[in-house]
Every structure is written in structure tokens, then in C-alpha cells.
Structure 1
């Protein structure tokens, strides 16, 4: 029995899956640790500044990447090594041009006082390292090297957190936001170095004198446009509240809100990781027929309901004792906003089920409508409620926007399943390969099929 178990564990596929899960778990734990570390070492005002920085970074990453990977990943699968190198070079050329535009925008924001000059250089460095390492991770996954991809994710988003936690406890003078940004950039650089080593087998020398193909880039941008709008909608739902709180309430209140929202985004990320495991079943079920599709979604729903309910209950019971044990009385005084935010995150986790159902049905337009509609709701409600209810208004706005997202996705998914039952014709769909990154799960992203 022991020998058979050992044989099973040492199989490459099993060992790779276990390794990927361990790396994902360590990365998710590091996010939670970072939230506690920042709350313990920084003032609420500095925590608020960190919240604005991460929100701006999420939108800047979208502006630099332009969701172009939704085109390049499809092209990379059948391509020869020589063609793969050229595709990546085209994406690098586009990214460099987009980055230049973002740098000019940041410089303008610094000149007008809208962005702190002391943080601008580190913001640009982190933007570069995050973007390059993020795209490299996607390329590693699509070229069937998932373990190496998740090692890169851990280097970028996990290992440096554990290192800086030890440093801050040992050396009090390092307890600054700038030090966090330095280590964040260092983690991204490590990830880039590891990814470069992992992709060194591509024929890069053949690119000498190669110029990016503008025709290919234009075609890719046309493909990426709907995915870019969907991703923008999801980012607005997750981050617009921070800008509104900073404008109407203040930086210290934003720090308290950022602390809780960062923890809850980590829970949302956990849900996204679990959802990704069900995606092949949902896709296969849709291709097999209505009965198999409903069975796959039913299993997916009950699993997500159990996960979402369990995480909500555990976090709601553990939060107050944890804050008391760590002496975070400032954040403990505002714990009520955490409980108001929980229902919204609960619905966002469950929203993966109808979102993946629509993905399998290739209902990209419905996904776009749902995300943009929820983004509009989130923006309007934040502007209306935050001036009256402070950070509780932001929590309520997020919950209502999440409810509108969930209900609209469910409505379109049910309609699609009824239409599917009438037609009964099997179909095939592509498989998205986007792992969880800096920003939360983007409902509706997928790798386009031909």
C-alpha cells in the first residue's frame, strides 16, 4: 500500500498538481500576512496611501497590457518556436509603447500634485516588473509549464512578503511604505529572472533585426477590445470605492477600509482558484449536452456555496479576536464595515458559477453587459452613499453592485440554458488560462476560440 501511494505521489502529473497547489496556497497566505503586516507597521493614513497605490496600479496594468494576451495566447498554442518568439516580441513592442503613455500620464499627475512624487519612481518600477512577470506567467501556462508559472507567481507575490515580515520585526527603521515597495519590485524582478530562464529555450537569436508586426498588433487589439472593457468593469467594481473614500472622507478612513478590503479580495482570490478547477468540467458539460451542462453547474454551485459560506463564517468569527490579539484597536473600532462588506464578497464568489456558464456558451456580450452594468452601479452608489455614510456607504455600494452583477449573470445564464435545451446541438469552446494575479478575478475573461 505504501509503495503504491509513493508511486502515485511521484508521478509527474500528480507531483506537478500538488506543487502548483502548494505554491498557490503560500501565495494566498502571503497576501493575508501582508495585510496584517501593513496594519501593524504602518499608520492608517499610510495604509490608505497603499490602498490608492494598489488601485492605481491595477488600472495601470490594464492600460499597459490592454488584455492583449487574449489574442496572443490563442496564437501561441499552434505556433512553432520561431513564431512564438515573434508573437512575444510583438506583445513586448505594444507593451513598451503603452508603458510610455502611462509614464507620461504619471508624470503629469505628479506635476499637478495628484500623485505623490516620492512614490512615483517605485510605482513605475513595480508596474514594469508586474506587467512583464504577469505576461511571462501566462506564456508559461499556455506552453504547458504550469509549475514554473506558479513558481513565478510565488516569487512575484509571495516570497518577498515573508522576507520583509522578518526584516520589519528585526529592524524597526524598515517599517515604511517605501520599503514595502522596494521589496515588491524586488519580488517582481526575481520572477522576471526565473521566467527568462524558463523561456530561454525559445530561438530569441532569430529576432535580430526584427520589427514588431503592426498589422498583427492591430488585429490583436481588435480581438482584445471586449475583454479589456470587461476587465475594466471588474476593476471599477473592486477599486472605485477607494478613490471616492479618499475624496470625500479622508486618507485615514481609507486606510481602515483598505485593510478589510484587501483581506476580502484575498478570499475572492481563493474562490477564483477553486473555480478554475471546475472550468474544464463546465466546458465539457456544455459540449456534451444540456443534462451534462446542468450537472456540471450543479456540482460547481454547491462546491462554491460551501466554500463561500465557510470562508464568510470563519472570517466573521475570527476577525475580532485576531485584531484584539494583534493590538489593532484602530482597525477594530471600524470592524462593522467588514461585516457589511461580507455579503458582497459572498455574491462575487458565487458569481463565478453563472459567469463560467456564460463563458462556456460563448456569451461574451452578456458578460460584458453584466460587468459594465455593475461597474456603473458601483460608481454611482459610491458617489451617492460615501459622502453620507462614510466607509459604510462604500461597503453598501459594493454589496449592491455585487448583487446586481450576480443577478444579471444568473438571468443571462438561465436564459442561455433554456435556449441550449431547445437547440440541443453540442458545441466546442476554448479554455482560458489566466491565473489569479494582482487584481481580483475578472468575471468573463476567456481565451477566444477560432
Structure 2
């Protein structure tokens, strides 16, 4: 028996799965550590400023990448190594153009006083490293190197948190927002270096006479249009409340809200990690016909429901002891904000089930309509509720928007189930659902 177990654990697929699980666990744990670290070392005002920076970063990443990967990954799967290098080069060219435009916009924001000049260089460096690292991760996954891909994710979003945590405890002078941003940029640069090494086996020398394929870029941007709007809708639900809180309530209240939002986003990322495991089964079920499609969705829903309920219950039970352990009394006074967030977290994660169902059915228009509609509801509710209820209004607005998103997606999925027939060609991807790695604490 032991021999069989040992042999099973030594299988490459099993080793890869365990490695990915460990790397994801370490990365997601770092987000929790980061929230506690910032709450302990920074003032609520600085925490609020950090919350605004991460919100702007998420939208800037969308503007920089333009969801172009939804086109390039589809083209990269059947491509030769030589063609893959050209696709990557075209994507880098497009990113350089968009980064230049964002740089000009950032300069204007600094000039008008909308963005602090002392943080702007680090923000732009983080934006560049995060984008390159994120795209490299996707390329490594699509080229069947998932362990290396998730090691890149760990370098980009995990290891620097452990390093800065140690440094802040040892060197009090490093307990600043600038130090956090510097180490964040260093983690991104390290992840890019590792990704470049991992992709060094591609025939890059063939790019000596490279000329940008502008026609491919335009075609890719046309493909990416619905995904840009869908991703923008998801980001609005996650981040628009921070700007409204800062406007109507103040930076200190935003800092308290950012602390709990950081943990909520960590839960969303953990739920998304579980959801991603079911995506191939949902796509295969749609291709096989109505019965397989329905069966896979039911399995997906109940599995995700159990996992998500477990996560939210554990988070709810451990939050108060954790605040007491670290002496975060100022945050403990508003703990019910976190409890108000948990229903929205549960609903938002469960929305992955109908979202992936529609994605597998290539119902891009339905996904777009639901995400944009729920984003508009989130925006309006935040504007109405935050001036009245403060940060509790933001939590309620997020929960209602997530509930509307789940109901709308479920309604359209039920309708889609009635139309499903076996479709062997349905397994070709049109893009990817909204990437949870674009959600930042």
C-alpha cells in the first residue's frame, strides 16, 4: 500500500498539482499577512492612501493590457514556437504604446494634484512589472508550464510581502508606504526575471527582422472589446466604493474599509482559485450536450457553495480574535463592516458558476450585459448609501450588486440550458473570464 501511495505521489501530474496548491496557498496567505501588516505599521490615513493606489492600479492595468490576452492566448495554442515569439512581441509592442499613453495621463494627474508626485515613480514601475508578470504567467500556463507560472505569481504577489514583513519588524524606519511600494516593485521585477528565464527556450533570435503585425493587433483589440467592458464592470464593483468613501467620508475611514476589503478580496481570490479548477469540465460539458452541461454545473455549484460557506464562516469566526491578538482596536470598532461584506463575498464567488456557464456557451453579450448592469447598480448605490451610512453603505452596495449579478447570470444560464445541444467545436476558447489576479488588496 505504501509503495502504491509513494508511486502515486511521485507522478509528475501529482507533483505539479501539489506544487501549485502550495504556491497558491503561500500567495493567498501573503494577502492576509499584508492586510495585518499594513494595519499594524501604517496609520488609517496611510492605509486609505494605499487603498486608493491599489484601486487606481487595477484600472490602470486594465487600460494597459486592454484584455488583449483574450485574443493572443487563442492564437498561441496552435502556433509554432516561432509564431509564438512574434505574438508575444506584438503584445509587448502594443503594451509599450498604451504604457506611454498612461504615463502621459499620470503626468497630468501629478500636475493637477490628483496623484502624489512622491509615489508616482513607484506606481508606474509597479504598473509595468505587474503587467509584464501577469502576461508572462498567462503565457506559461497556455504553454503547459503551470508550476513555473504559479511560481511567477508567488514572486509577484507573495514573497516580497514576507520580506517586507520581516524588515518592518526589524527596522522601524521602514514602516512606510513608500517601503511597501518599493518592495512590491522588487517582487514584480524578480518575477519578470524568472519568467524571462522560463521562456528563454523560445526562438527569440528569429525576431531580428521583426516588424509589428498591426493587422493582428487591430483584430485582437476587436476581439477584446467585450472582455474589456466585462472586466471594467468587475473592477467597478470591487473598487468604486473606495473613491466615493474618500470623497464623502474621508481618508481615515477609507483606511479602515481598505483593511477589511483586503481580506475580502483575498477570499474572492481563494474562491476564484477553486472555480478555475471546474472551468475545463464546464466547457467539456457544454460541448457534450445538455445533460453533461447541467450535471457539471450542478457539481460545480455545490462544490463551490460548500467551499465558500466554509471560508466565510471561518473568516467570520476568526476575525475578532485576530484583531484582539494584533491589538487592532481601531479596526475592531468597525468589525461589523467586515460582517456586512461577507454576504457579498459569498454571492460574488457563487456568481462564477453561471458566469463560467455562459462563458462556455460563448455568450459574451450576456456576460457583458450582466457585469455592466451590476457595475452601474454598484456605482449608484454607493453614491446614495455612503453619504448616509458611511462605510457600511459601501458594504451593502457591494452585496446588493453581487446579488443582482448572481441572479441575472443565473436567469440567463437557465435559459441557455434549454438551447444546449452537443457541439464539438465549443471547446475553443473565446477568451478567459475576468482574472482574479487583477484584484488587488
User: Deviations along 1:142-183, whole A, 9 cap, x unmatched?
Assistant: 011111100100000001111111111111111101000000
With over 3 angstroms needed to count, the CA separation of the structure-2 counterparts of 1:433 and 1:202, relative to structure 1, is farther
- Whether the 8 Å CA contact 2:71–2:220 is kept in 1: the answer is yes
User: Deviations along 1:317-370, whole A, 9 cap, x unmatched?
Assistant: 111111011100010011111111111111001101111111111111000000
**Distance across 2 between alignment mates of 1:309 and 1:440:** 22
- Whether the 8 Å CA contact 2:361–2:426 is kept in 1: the answer is no
- Whether the 8 Å CA contact 2:378–2:401 is kept in 1: the answer is yes
- Other-structure match for 2:55: 55
**Distance across 2 between alignment mates of 1:304 and 1:381:** 28
- Whether the 8 Å CA contact 2:70–2:432 is kept in 1: the answer is no
CA deviation after TM superposition for structure 1 residue 209, in Å = 3.5
**Distance across 2 between alignment mates of 1:238 and 1:67:** 18
Counterpart selection for 1:430 from 417, 428, 431: 428
1:204 aligns with 2:195: no
1:262 aligns with 2:292: no
Tell me the TM-score normalized by structure 2: 0.97
CA deviation after TM superposition for structure 1 residue 436, in Å = 3.8
**Distance across 1 between alignment mates of 2:108 and 2:209:** 34
- Whether the 8 Å CA contact 2:156–2:188 is kept in 1: the answer is yes
Instruction: In structure 2, list runs of 5 or more residues that go unmatched.
Output: none
CA deviation after TM superposition for structure 1 residue 419, in Å = 2.4
With over 3 angstroms needed to count, the CA separation of the structure-2 counterparts of 1:82 and 1:252, relative to structure 1, is same
Matches within 5 A, 1:199-348: 199-348=199-348
CA deviation after TM superposition for structure 1 residue 293, in Å = 1.4
Q: What SS does the aligned partner of 2:345 have?
A: helix
CA deviation after TM superposition for structure 1 residue 8, in Å = 1.0
**Distance across 2 between alignment mates of 1:399 and 1:271:** 16
Matches within 5 A, 1:71-82: 71-82=71-82
Runs ≥4 residues deviating over 4 A? 423-427, 431-435
- Whether the 8 Å CA contact 1:268–1:440 is kept in 2: the answer is no
**Distance across 2 between alignment mates of 1:222 and 1:428:** 20
**Distance across 1 between alignment mates of 2:52 and 2:103:** 17
- Whether the 8 Å CA contact 1:52–1:243 is kept in 2: the answer is yes
**Distance across 1 between alignment mates of 2:292 and 2:425:** 13
- Whether the 8 Å CA contact 2:351–2:406 is kept in 1: the answer is yes
- Other-structure match for 1:159: 159
Tell me the TM-score normalized by structure 1: 0.95
**Distance across 1 between alignment mates of 2:407 and 2:23:** 34
**Distance across 2 between alignment mates of 1:386 and 1:341:** 14
